[in-house]
Chain A
Amino acid sequence: MSAITTEQVESRVIETLASFGPDVSQITRDATFEELDIDSLDLVELAQVVEDDYGVILKGEDMKELKTVGQAIDLIVSRAE
C-alpha cells in the first residue's frame, strides 16, 4: 500500500463527518465530537469508511478514547503506517 498522508486522512475524515450532520466549517482538528454532536454510532460509521479506504480496523475500544477530530486523524494515520 502506498503511503497515506495526514492531509489525505484529514480531508477524508472531515468529508465523512460533514456528511453526518455538522457544518464543515465547524470540523477542525480541535473540535470535540461532543461539540459536533458526533456520537458512538457515527464513529462506527467513520470506522467503516476508514477500513474501506485505508484497510485500518478501528475497534470500539480504540474509538472510546477519542475526544477530538485531530485525535481520530492521528490514530488512523499511525495505524496505517
Chain B
Amino acid sequence: MRVGAQMRRRVVVTGLGAVTPLGVGAGVLHERWAAGECGIVDGAGACTDFDPKEFLSTKEIRRTDRFSQLAMVASGEALEQAGWNGDYGGYDPLRVGCVLATGIGGIHTVESNHDVMRDKGPRAVSPLGVPSYMPNAGVAAVAMKYGIHGQTYGVVSACASGAHSIGSALRMIQYGDADAVVAGGSEATLTEFGFACFNALQALSQEGISRPFDARRDGFVMGEGAGVLVLEEAEAALARGATILGEVLGYAATSDAYHLTAPDPTGGPASSAIELALKDAGKSVAEIDYVNAHGTSTPLNDAVETKALKRAFGEQRAKQIPVSSTKSAIGHLLGAAGAVEAVATLSALRARVIPPTLGYEVPDPELDLDYVPGEARPLIMSNGHAPAAISNSFAFGGHNVTLVLGGGE
C-alpha cells in the first residue's frame, strides 16, 4: 500500500541554533547576512567569535572535536529557543530523536593524534581519539548532553549531509517514530590538511572570494560551523504552547550516479530532487517565494543549479523567484551547509526579508536568474499565502537534496 500524504503528521520548527563565521547565534546569522556583512576573512569562513570555553565544561571540551563542540552549542541555542528547559518539552525522552550530520568528522583529532603517533609511537595515541573523531561523535555528544533517548544517529553525504539529516528527521516525525527531533549538522575542517585536500581537487577559490553565480567565480571558500533545528509534531507543539517558527513542508533526495565530484551537467537529477520535494510538500511552483541556493561559487555547481532550477520551475517562473546563496556570506560549511542554510531560510521567511547574494556584480551570460544582487529585499508572497521556500544541497558523490520550508502563518 502506498502511504499517502494524508497519513503523515505535520512537522513544525520550534527552535533554531547556529554557529557560523558571522557569529554565535541564528539571529546574528540572519541579521548580519541581510545587512550585507560577510564572515569570510583571508579566504576562510572561520568561527572566530566562537570560544568553546564560554559554553562548555573542561571535560566536554577535552572529549570532543571542534565539530562536536559547534554542534553542542548550536543545539543548546535551538533547545533553549524551543523552551524545553531540561524537561524535553514534556515529550517522552524515548520519543525524542537526534540526527546530526557532518561531511568529514573530527579531522582536528585525527591530525593531532597522528602527530602524537609519529612523534611518540602508537602507544601514546589518546583513548579519546576514536570517540572524538568518529562522524557520529557530534550527535552522541548532543544526545548525552541533553539526555535524548530516542533514535540518534549521524548522517554522512558530504555537502548534502545537513539537508539529509533534516529530511531524515522530518520522516521520523511524519511517520510516528518520534514526536520531536533535534536535527542539523556541523563541520570543522579548517586545518592545513583540510585546505590541502580541497585545494588538490581544485575546488577552492584561488582568490579566496565566495561570489556565487558571478561570472568571476572561481571556486568555493571553505567555512566551519553548525546549524540545528528543533522539529516537533505540529499538534503536540501547539498543545504545549510552543512558538512555531516555521514548518518543514517537504523533502526529496536523488543521486546523480554520474561522477565522484562533478555534477551531472544536465541538471536532471538535481532538478528531480526539487520537483519531488515540491510534490512531497504539495506545493506548486507558483507557491515558492524564495530559493536558498546551494550556490557554492564553483563554475560547475552554479551553472548546473541554474539549469536545474529552470527545469524544475520552468524558464518563466524560475526567472521570477529570487535566488540567493548563504555561502556568499559565510563560505561553504560542507556537511553543516544544508542545516545552516535551512536555519537561514527559515529566518528569512520569518523576517520576510531575503538576504542578498553578496559579491554578485558581474553577471554570467549563461546564468540569468534573479540572484538578489546588492542588498536584501522584502519577501513578496504570491497570492498572499504563507511564505515558502526551497533550500538546495548538492554534494560530492552526486547527492542532491531539496527541502521545502514554510514560514508559518
Contact = CB atoms under 8 A, between A and B. Distances in A.
Interface of A: 19-21, 37, 41, 44-45, 48, 51-52
A50 to B, nearest CB: 12
Given A21-B57, A41-B131, A48 B62 contact: no
Given A41-B63, A45-B127, 15 more contacts: A19-B62, A20-B58, A20-B59, A20-B62, A21-B57, A21-B59, A21-B62, A41-B127, A41-B128, A41-B131, A44-B127, A45-B126, A48-B124, A51-B123, A52-B124
Interface-centre pick from A21, A45, A51 (highest chain B CB count, 10 A):
A21
Interface string B130-152: 01000000000000000000000
Nearest to B58: A21
B195 to A, nearest CB: 30
A48 B59 contact: no
A48 B123 contact: yes
3 pairs of A and B residues whose beta carbons are closest in the complex? A21-B59, A44-B127, A21-B58
Contacts of B124: 48, 52
B367 to A, nearest CB: 51
Contacts of A45: 126-128
Contacts of A19: 58, 62
Contacts, number: 25
A57 to B, nearest CB: 9
Interface of B: 57-59, 62-63, 120, 123-124, 126-128, 131
A54 to B, nearest CB: 14
Contacts of A48: 123-124, 126-127
Say what secondary structure dominates the interface of chain A: helix
B140 to A, nearest CB: 13
A4 to B, nearest CB: 20
B128 A37 contact: no
Contacts of B120: 52
Nearest to B128: A41
Nearest to B57: A21
A37 B124 CA distance: 23
A33 B128 CA distance: 18
19 contacts: A19-B58, A20-B58, A20-B62, A21-B57, A21-B58, A21-B59, A21-B62, A37-B59, A41-B63, A41-B127, A41-B131, A45-B128, A48-B123, A48-B124, A48-B126, A48-B127, A51-B123, A52-B120, A52-B124
Nearest to B59: A21
A45 B128 CA distance: 8
Nearest to B126: A45
B124 to A, nearest CB: 6
A66 B5 CA distance: 57
Contacts of A44: 127
Nearest to A23: B58
A37 B123 CA distance: 25
A21 B123 CA distance: 23
A8 to B, nearest CB: 21
B94 to A, nearest CB: 24
A20 B63 CA distance: 9
Interface-centre pick from A37, A41, A51, A52 (highest chain B CB count, 10 A):
A41
B115 to A, nearest CB: 15
A36 to B, nearest CB: 10
B337 to A, nearest CB: 32
